């Protein structure tokens, strides 16, 4: 999906289960650890996003945003939705 502020950015929201979609979006910049099995017998994924400075852990609900230089960073859901609206 695309979202806009003054500029349009590409972002994808992490829902805790959309690993393939995020991997297609951010490629080598996202990593997944599988720490445990949830009550439904599905592996719980822990998402980490790599940028030039560090590796950060994302929580379900966070948005993974592609920066101007092709880098990726995490924005909390409330902050992202306060700054951006969905673009067509």
Cα–Cα distance measured from residue 55 to residue 57, given in angstroms and rounded to the nearest whole number = 7
- The residue written with tokens 């959309």 in the block is 18
Cα–Cα distance measured from residue 87 to residue 9, given in angstroms and rounded to the nearest whole number = 9
Residue 51 is predicted with a pLDDT of 85
Q: Is pLDDT at 75 greater than 80 in this prediction?
A: yes
Contacts 24+ apart (CB under 8 A), 66-75: 66/9, 66/10, 66/11, 66/25, 66/26, 71/29, 72/26, 72/29, 72/30, 73/49, 74/49, 75/11
Q: Is pLDDT at 24 greater than 80 in this prediction?
A: yes
The mean pLDDT of 2-8, rounded to a whole number, is 75
Which of 1-5, 50-54, 55-59 shows the lowest per-residue confidence on average (mean pLDDT)?
Answer: 1-5
């Amino acid at each position: 999906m695309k979202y806009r502020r003054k500029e349009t950015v590409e972002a994808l929201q992490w829902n805790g289960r959309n690993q393939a979609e995020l991997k297609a979006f951010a490629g080598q910049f996202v990593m997944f650890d599988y720490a445990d099995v949830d009550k439904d017998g599905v592996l719980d994924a822990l998402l980490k996003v790599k940028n030039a400075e560090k590796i950060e852990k994302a929580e379900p609900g966070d948005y993974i945003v592609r920066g101007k230089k092709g880098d990726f960073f995490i924005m909390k859901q409330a902050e992202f939705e306060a700054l951006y609206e969905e673009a067509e």
